[in-house]
Amino acid sequence: MQKYTSKDTSVNTGKLPYLFAHLESLIGKAKKPDHWILDIGCGKETSHIQKKCNDLGWSYIGYDPYNQTPAMNSKALLAMAIFPISIATLSNVINVIDDDEAMIEAIKMGISHAVSHVALVTIYEGDGSGVGKVTKNDCYQRNMKRKDYLPLFESAGLYTMRIPHGFALSDKPFKKNI
């Protein structure tokens, strides 16, 4: 069970997170309607992220139990049930979840809702010490190097492929695994 909500670590209020700033190079533009991106742990401010996705032809839905209202999260859950989610994202989310099981659950939520069975996950390494700690009231940082997440992913049955600042994760094998 996740002890810290880390809701006050949401810092990208106007600047695009890396994953979304480089979205086109990672997944391209949508070629047809009904391409949806599910952003798990989207944070407080998402209008700039939604605009970037829309500009690339993708529809956007953000879900965050700690930073979005119950109404917005209900809307996101409904969208997940109705629309074919092309790909899921977790942008600097798993590094603030203190519980391994809760972290894997968040990743698997994205994978299970994506018709691609892929979640793009970026990870902030903090100080890189590998020693998790509380950074401020109700906020946590794992401080793990990206490579140190690999055993956790593998033990959860996830396949990995490197992307800048993180991994593409799936419950299905990629053509080339690391």
Top pLDDT among 151 and 175 is at 151
Place of tokens 């047809």: 32
In the structure, what pLDDT confidence band is assigned to residue 6 with cuts at 50, 70 and 90?
Answer: confident
pLDDT digits (tens, 9 = 90+) for 98-142: 999 999 999 999 999 999 999 999 999 999 999 999 998 889 999
pLDDT higher than threshold 70 for residue 176:
no
Domains and CATH numbers, the chain: 32-170 (3.40.50.150)
Position 165, amino acid: H
Is residue 20 a contact partner of residue 43, using CB atoms and an 8 Å limit?
Answer: no
Tokens read off for 85: 């989610």
- Is residue 132 within 8 Å of 141, Cβ to Cβ? yes
pLDDT level of residue 10 (50, 70, 90 thresholds):
low
Q: What does the pLDDT read at residue 12?
A: 66
DSSP β-ladder status, 118-122 and 133-136: unpaired
Helix and strand totals (H; E) in the chain: 6, 8
**Cα–Cα–Cα angle for 146, 73, 108, nearest 5°?**
35
**In sequence order, which residues have a C-beta less than 8 Å from that of residue 11 and are 6 or more positions away?**
none
